[in-house]
Amino acid sequence: MSGLWVVVSGATSGIGRAIVRRFLAQGLRVLALARDVGALTILAAELGALGNGRLRTAVCDVRDRQRLEALAAEVGDVFAIVANAGICLQARLDHEAADAVWREVLATNLDGVYHTIQAFRPRMIDEGRIVAISSGLGKLGRAGYSAYSASKHAVLGLVKCVALELAPRRITVNAICPGWVTTAMSDADLERTADERGTSAEAERARAIGEIALGRFVGP
């Protein structure tokens, strides 16, 4: 297992960063993908010692299939793919930016998952693992989040189909639907909601926590 690769997109912050750290701690080789070269540099500096030469970082936009395929050609056998990269933008249907938000979010959150799987799937070993990060909004709806929620619902459909196609190779394919996690993305989401409602991020956080049975956000 130690000679195999794990591919993680959206690897530099929040959930993705925590996933990279865990895989490195388990002795796996990790290809960490993200769009921000500066964030990748920080990731390599902070986790490089833990990886002990097993961490490779690469600038990559998951909307870019050719870039993903080029990276896939450079690595060895792949044990797992974690399609984590995603963005959260909101726009009500009557907002002038609604169509642009729709295209941008679907391109990253849905097309990006598809492209990541398609690029690295040929390098996967039998009995490998694919995990796509969906969202609690992959099962629910929320006003102003049509693009985001639709993209995350669609990821669940994609995962169900890919799981059936790859079952003969004993590759398991699953999705995770996180609720509120303390990340930069969730902080930005709370800020946007507060601006829209004329409240504060602290008030929106308290409202969200009030809807959680455990009464807290979780850590990544």
Q: Report, as residue numbers or ranges, the catalytic residues.
A: 148
Q: How many helices (H) and strands (E) does the chain have?
A: 8, 6
**How many other C-beta atoms lie within 10 A of the C-beta of residue 173?**
21
Amino acid at 146: S
Separation CA 56–CA 40 (nearest Å):
10
Parallel, antiparallel, or unpaired: how do β-strands 78-83 and 55-59 relate? Answer: unpaired
